[in-house]
Amino acid sequence: MASRRARLARLPDELRSLDPGTWLWGRPPSLPPGARLAPSPPPLPLLGHFHAFGRGPERLRKVLTLRERYGDLVRLRFGGIQAHLVASPEIVQEVLHTRNREFDKHTRGTYKLRLVLGLGLLTSEGRFWLRQRRISQPAFHRKKIASFADRMVNAAEETCAEWREGEAFDAHEAMMRLTLRVVSETLLGTAVTNDAATVGAALDVVIADVNRRVNQLVELPPPIPTRHNRRFMEAMGTLDRIVLEIIEERRRSGIERDDLLQMLMDTRDAETGERMDDAQLRDEVMTIFLAGHETTANALSWSLYLLAKSPEVARKLRAEVRGALGDRRATFEDLRALPYTRQVIEEAMRLYPPAWMIARAPVADTELGGYFVPKRNLLLLSPWVVHRHPDYWRDPEGFDPDRFAPEARATHHRFQYFPFGGGPRLCIGNNFALMEAQLVLATLAQRWHLELVPGRDVVAEPLVTLRPRGGLWMTPRRP
Ligand code: HEM
């Protein structure tokens, strides 16, 4: 296996393809005769479209406006970086699924994520990725994840037990801790109980830092000791230590489990017979820590938020849970009797997709939706925009879980809803996440009714994931 440093040394091709012409007038030098460019808002000299794309929470409104004004493929430029905002399910399907080989993940976002995740499943590519995906896949098999139900319900029950009637708390923070605990216990076979607070705090620093780097055009690389970089390196050091301890502990204990960590540790390379080295194991474990908890926590937080704002939906959910479970604990077998609970989560992920933007780049000049797209152009596939597209969703801003009832779902375009991406790079944890969210939401609804704290506005913040800025403050009441 190539050394970690060599593997990380690859710069995103998008940065190599900068061309002075694109900075000045935004036209790709390779435009073939007769080819059409996608519509574009008027650019500012040099800067391009930073203003039209907005920043912070206003970005969410701005990208919807871009689709409204310019259509389903909008050409944008951020300084010298050429991009297209994609709002059409057909194009999303082409890029992620039917023509997926023509697009890769060598984008600015992946490059920033690699600072934290190295070359784990989310950030690797090609044959190397495929090999890692095949090794990990069995850990997410339906039968395998069914055995996790009990731990998920345990974690939910213990979280509920910490709340006190009438005492406001940050529900987003609670969901983050809960989902971190679930991935650690089920996939990595470690309780992280002693380290939970340390891991949580270090992950917060790291996530905030990646977000900052993705959004900044100019940044100083981590080894330069700025205040931010020092905090980042410190947090990374903490996470590295804990992850390597988890691996070491498993080796020392000699206990063989059949979880994801064991699969990763036992696999040998077909050609060399070598096992994965510690650096690669670390990247995979870190990926699971990160990809496997924040997204699910966001899905749960947005579900709680929308339920609190929609008493009718909340009543229907509680009625379903009461009918299916009464006072007993939820089990894997109960999932089928909780279809509305699942629809609530799916609808919450329509309105607030945790992965609100998915990036790809074409490996060669290409055409999408009848428009020319030069190679290495940054394609921003946005579940946020597609999930609110008025051609596909009636009353797109309304919260209505019945959209996901089987008869309504049958009328959907395959890619008008893609919170987990699609094609070969479809989220490996999608069933795991849905099952966890369904069990957690049902368990919470049995015990508590959560109200929003008046006066504390909830603002969606589009970072790498879509999370409630400053947390989600709620007051528990007995239902
Ligand atoms: C509601 C929860 C979740 C959402 C919305 C979500 C979303 C996504 C999306 C959109 C992708 C594709 C990214 C791309 O194409 O560039 C992805 C990939 C991935 N997700 Fe998730 N995810 C969730 C939960 C999980 C969980 C629970 C795990 C693991 C326990 C997980 C692990 C991964 C991994 C490893 C990948 C990379 C897969 C690959 O490229 O082969 N995710 N996720």
pLDDT digits (tens, 9 = 90+) for 33-61: 888 999 999 988 878 888 899 888 999 99
User: Quick check: 222 and 209 in contact, CB under 8 A?
Assistant: no
- The whole-number pLDDT of residue 409 equals 95
Among 460, 476, 399, which Cα is nearest to 170's?
476
Q: Which of 295, 378, 386, 463 to mutate to test the pocket of ligand 1 (most atoms within 8 A of CB)?
A: 295
Is any atom of ligand 1 closer than 6 Å to the C-beta of 355?
A: yes
Q: How far from 152 is each of 44, 96, 145, 223, 467, CA to CA, in Å?
A: 50, 31, 10, 39, 22
Residue 403 to residue 345: CA distance in whole angstroms: 12
Nearest CA to ligand 1 atom 20: 427
The whole model's pTM is what?
0.92
CB of 419 sitting under 6 A from ligand 1: yes
| 354 C-alpha to ligand 1 centroid (Å) | 10
Is residue 357 scored above 60 in pLDDT?
yes
Pocket of ligand 1 contains residue 421 by CB under 6 Å:
yes
Provide the sign of the torsion angle of the four alpha carbons 173, 175, 179, 185, taken in this order: positive
Which pLDDT score, from 0 to 100, does residue 28 have?
Answer: 59
Domain-wise residue ranges, the chain: 4-477
| Neighbour-count burial of 37, counting CB atoms closer than 10 A to its CB (0-12 exposed, 13-18 middle, 19+ buried) | middle
The yes-or-no verdict on residue 353 having pLDDT over 80 is yes
Protein residue whose Cα sits closest to atom 17 of ligand 1: 427
pLDDT of residue 306 exceeding 50, the answer is yes
What number is the average pLDDT over the span 303-322? 98
The answer to whether the CB of 295 is under 6 A from ligand 1 is: yes
Ligand 1 near 110 CB (within 6 A): no
pLDDT tens, 114-144?
A: 989 999 999 999 998 998 898 888 888 888 8
- Residue 282: CB within 6 Å of ligand 1? no
Q: Are 305 and 458 in contact (CB under 8 A)?
A: yes
Model confidence at 17: pLDDT above 50: no
What contacts 455, CB < 8 A, 6 or more positions away? none
CATH of domain 4-477: 1.10.630.10
- 383 CB under 6 A from ligand 1? no
Q: What percent of the chain has pLDDT over 70?
A: 92
CA nearest neighbour of 403 among 343, 339, 358: 343
Over the stretch 71-91, which tens digit does the pLDDT of each residue have?
999 999 988 889 999 999 999
| Cβ(288) – ligand 1 distance below 6 Å | yes
Q: Which residue has tokens 């909780």? A: 338
Give the count of beta carbons closer than 10 Å to the beta carbon of residue 22: 20
Taking the C-alpha atoms of residue 416 and residue 406, their distance in angstroms, rounded to an integer, is 15
Q: Express each pLDDT in 216-240 by its tens digit.
A: 666 667 777 788 889 999 999 999 9
Q: How many C-beta atoms lie closer than 10 Å to residue 227's C-beta?
A: 7
Q: List for the chain the helix, strand, coil content (%; round to 5).
A: 55, 10, 35
Q: Are the C-beta atoms of residues 442 and 330 closer than 8 Å to each other?
A: yes
pLDDT for residue 30 is more than 80: no
Is 433 close to ligand 1, i.e. is its CB under 6 Å away? yes
Least confident of 15-19, 204-208, 238-242, 286-290: 15-19
Please identify, by atom number, the ligand 1 atom nearest to the C-alpha of residue 424: 41
- 70 CA distance to ligand 1 middle (Å): 30
Query: Quick check: CB of 183 below 6 Å from ligand 1?
Result: yes
- Pick the residue whose CA is nearest to atom 7 on ligand 1: 420
The answer to whether the CB of 467 falls within 8 A of the CB of 158 is no
CA-wise closest residue to 357 among 123, 85, 171 = 85
What is the sign, positive or negative, of the torsion defined by CA atoms of 413, 416, 422, 427? negative
Token pair 């995740």 is found at: 117
189: left (phi over 0), alpha (psi -120 to 50) or beta: left
Cα(455) to centroid(ligand 1), Å: 34
Higher local confidence (pLDDT), 354 or 252: 354
Residue nearest atom 27 in ligand 1 by C-alpha distance: 292
| Cα atoms in the Cβ-side hemisphere of radius 13 Å centred on 141 | 10
Ligand 1 within 6 A of CB of 292: yes
pLDDT of 385 strictly over 50: yes
Alpha-carbon distance of 329 to 56, in angstroms, equals 41
Residue 306 Cβ inside 6 Å of ligand 1? The answer reads no
Q: How far is the CA of 362 from the centre of ligand 1 (A)?
A: 21
How far apart CA 31 and CA 373 sit, in angstroms, is 9
Rounded to the nearest whole angstrom, what is the distance from the C-alpha of residue 293 to the centroid of ligand 1? 10
- Residues in contact with 54: Cβ distance below 8 Å, sequence separation at least 6, in sequence order: 61, 62, 63
333: Cβ–Cβ under 8 A, 6 or more apart, which residues?
none
Q: Which helix (H) or strand (E) segment is 447 a member of?
A: helix 430-447
pLDDT above 70 (res 14): no
CA dihedral 298, 299, 301, 304 (to 10 degrees): 170
Please tell me if the CB atom of residue 330 comes closer than 6 angstroms to any atom of ligand 1: no
DSSP state of 96: I
Per-residue DSSP letter, 422 = -
Site to probe by mutation for ligand 1, drawn from 133, 357, 417, 427 as the one with most ligand atoms within 8 Å of Cβ, is 427
Contact 475, 164 (CB under 8 A): no
- 43-54 in b/e form (b: 16+ CB < 10 A) is beeeebbeebbb
Q: Find out whether the beta carbon of 428 lies less than 6 Å from any atom of ligand 1.
A: yes
CB 291 less than 6 A from any atom of ligand 1: yes
Q: List the Cα angle 283/286/287 in 5-degree steps.
A: 85
The residue with tokens 């957690």 is 440
Half-sphere exposure for 31 (CA within 13 Å, toward CB): 13
CA-nearest of 447, 438, 478 to 328 is 447
Residue with the smallest CA separation from ligand 1 atom 3 is: 295
